[in-house]
Structures are given as C-alpha cells and as structure tokens.
Structure 1
Amino acid sequence: MKLVSWNVNGIRAAIKHGFKDVFKELDADIFCINETKLSAGQLDLNFPGYESYWNYAERKGYSGTAVFTKKKPLSVQNGIGIDEFDDEGRVITLEFDNFYVVACYTPNAKPKLERLDYRVKWDDAFRKYLLKLKAQKSVILCGDLNVAHEEIDLKNPSSNHHHGGFSNEERQDMTKLLDSGFIDTYRYFNPDQTGAYSWWSYRFGARKRNAGWRIDYFIVSDDLKDQLQEAAILSDVMGSDHCPVELKIKL
C-alpha cells in the first residue's frame, strides 16, 4: 500500500500549481493533505476511484485537513474528541479492518513561541489519543507535525533552538511519542541522512539553497515495523512550500 501526505498551503492555490497532476502521477492508495485553508462548500474536488473526507476549521481560510482513499473506511472521525482542540480542522481518523490512518496538521507554536502552551497541551492530548487507538489496532500517523525532532532535521539548528518547531518542549514531546511505541519511518530507513527536508521558507531562496526543515512525517505504531517497505521525501515535487512525503507498507 502506498500513502502520501502533503501540506499544500492552501488547496485552491495548489490546484493552480499542478496539484491534480501530482495527485494522479503519485497514484497513492491513500492521499492526505494538510492546511487546506478551505471552508465547506468552497471547492468541489473529487478524483475517480477515491472517497474523500474533509475537516474544516471554524475560522475561514485557516488550517484544515482532507483525505482521499481508494478503499472505503469502516468509520471516519474528525478531531480527537476534545473541544479545545477540535475547532481548527486538524485531525481526520480513518478506521480500516486492521489499522487506523490519522491525518494531522499539528498547531504551530509560532516563531516567538507565543502559542507554545497551547501546543504542549495539544501534544499531550494527541499522544493520549493515539495511544487509545494503538490499544485497538495498528496506527499510521501522517502530516505536518510542525517539529524538527533532532538537529539533523533542519539546516540551521544552532540558531533555531528557541523558535517554534525546534523548541526543547516540542522536541521532547516528539521523543515522548516515539518512546511510547511509535516509529519515525523516514529515520527508520535513513538514520543518518542529512539535508533531507520537507519544508522551506519562501524567503531568501531557501528551497534553492536547501535550507529547510523536516517537519512532515509518517509515524507508525511499532507493531508495523516488519511491514514497512519504504519511506521517502519527494523534494522534487513543487506547488507548495512543503513537499509530499510517502510511505510504502505491506498491509
């Protein structure tokens, strides 16, 4: 099975920059998108052979997630069941026979960490949510998790230790998640790979210089370890300030 996740930084803008062609070319079994920046009724986007599911933020033009899947799920849940965290359209969970797919767009702590308290509360609640799922079935989590876990995961770690996405608190929370029985699939296959990033600022020619961050992930419950086949960062795909990430797994 092939899964793709992509922060499109606004689906309407991404469509203008070739999203539909990329979608068809990648031909994923499950394709998750983050940061749709869409409200209900603003766009009718369907692909033959796929079911589609959307979670919209209450605030217009903000956040939002969607999932396209060739196989119809047993059930679909928007959010994690906590009002404080469920008004920004950040999570969609699809249940299948033997596993869950969780598409997530994690809140940003902001450059000066003004939203760090909210982010830390989110991390704790979301980890507990994933562990509840894991107690029932295998879990595949994907999306823009808005954290570069280790220094190897961004170009300039020394100057970003107190910035959103690389604060001690956010990195520690990612460690807690992985230590609770989950695998960062890209690092599983590429433990020492440098220069592997999934997001680049639009400023200062960052993408051309590959001055980026790896903040988009496929993370799976550790019971799926032996079924992992490949994890990739599709850095040659344009159309957003992020690139897609991909997971191939035997399910």
Structure 2
Amino acid sequence: MSDQPTSLYGDQPEGPRPPAPGLMDQILGVFTSPVELFQRLNKTPAWGWALGLLVISALAVTFVWGRKVDVDEMIRPALERNPQIQAAQIDMIIEMQKKFILPFGILFAVIGAPAVAALLALFYWLIGKAMPEGEAPTYPQALSAAVVPSLVKLPHALLLFVICLMRPIGGLTPEKIAPTSLGYFIHVDSIKLQAFLFSLDLFYFAEAFLIYLALRYLTRIKVPGALICVLVPLLLSIGMRILGAK
C-alpha cells in the first residue's frame, strides 16, 4: 500500500447529469426564459417529445385545412396561367389534386418535419465543428437546437386550426390564412412579391431568433457560425416560396 497521501485535487467522479427539461418546461421556456432553457439543454439535450408535438400540431392543421380548402379555387388560376397546360387538362388535374392533397399533406407532416429537423441538425453540427466556442457540439445538441425553438410556432398552428375549423377558407393556403404576416395586410399585383410578403411572418422571425439563441447557448457556436446557421436556411426558405409562387 502506498504511503503517499492522496491528492485532494485528484480526478473526481462526475456527478449525476441534471434531468433534461420536460416538454412543458420546453414550451414555457421558449416563451419566458429561452437562454436558461438552452443552457439546460446543452447539458442534457432533449428533442423527442417536442418533435412529436410539432408533428401532431402539423397533422391537425393539415387535416382540418385539407378538409375545408377549395382545391379548384386554390390551383385553377395558376393552371390557367401556365401555357404548357391545355384547357382540357385543367379539370382532370384539379380532380387528381382533390384526391391526393390530404394524403400527401399528412405524409409530409409525418415524414417531412422530422427529415427537415434531421438535415438542419446536421448542418448545425457541421458548422459547430468548424466554428465552436469551446467544445464542439454533439449531434443530439444540434438536433435539440433544430427542434425545440420551433415550439414557439405552436400558437400559430393553434390559430390556423381554429380559423380553418370555424370559417370558410376558400382556396387559401395555410400561410395566407392567419393575420401574422405582411402578406395578409398588404396585397400587390405581383405574385412573386406577394409570396415574399407572406413569408415575412411574425412567427417565422420569432423562430429564427430562438434558433440563434439555441445555437449560441445550446450548441455553443461562435456568432458568425450561428448567423450562417440562421440566415442560410431562412433565405433558402423564402427563396423557395418566391420561386414556387405561380
């Protein structure tokens, strides 16, 4: 047995990890104390229940919107403006869209949302590896940063659900229903410009701000890297909305 005294400052076993914030903690945290929430998630990443709730909310909105929307009113003007589509084909295309719009919407809600979150998390993780502020982030941390900030859009989903349930919506797509974007209040002749105005939504920018905080305090990415992670997907999303407007 060694006679040498044991150092008081030797390696100490790590204490138990703090419990991950629960779903209600995450929902309340994104609205009341996001920095504290993301600091807790840095130590114990969590995203499963939040992702499940987001999928359920998307399914609810998709279902009630798909049952109420007038598909003819929604897509006929775009079809009539397309010179590559003959007038005789328009009614057939509309009938096909009526059959598939709800199943495809549900499929995207179930598969698309998790897939987008996984891809965003991969992007955050790669940028975090290149621009860490201290220790590089783990993929679970990046996935938490990709999912949890989106909980701020739950009131938007609830508003869409109630509006679709309570009144006729005609041929409006979901982003045109709620009074949360500039496009709801400002109407212009240019279809592309109108799509841009609809993309300027209060909840989209609130989500972007929370993603920035998550990247700074959860994944610990430097400011330039956090800005890249926020702005690149945001600009791509706006660009796709504008290019897809017809």
TM bin, normalised by shorter chain, reads under 0.3
TM-score by length of 2: 0.23
Structure with higher Rg: it is: 2
Q: Which has the higher contact order (CA 8 A, sep 6+)?
A: 2
The structure carrying a bigger strand percent of its residues is 1
TM-score by length of 1: 0.23
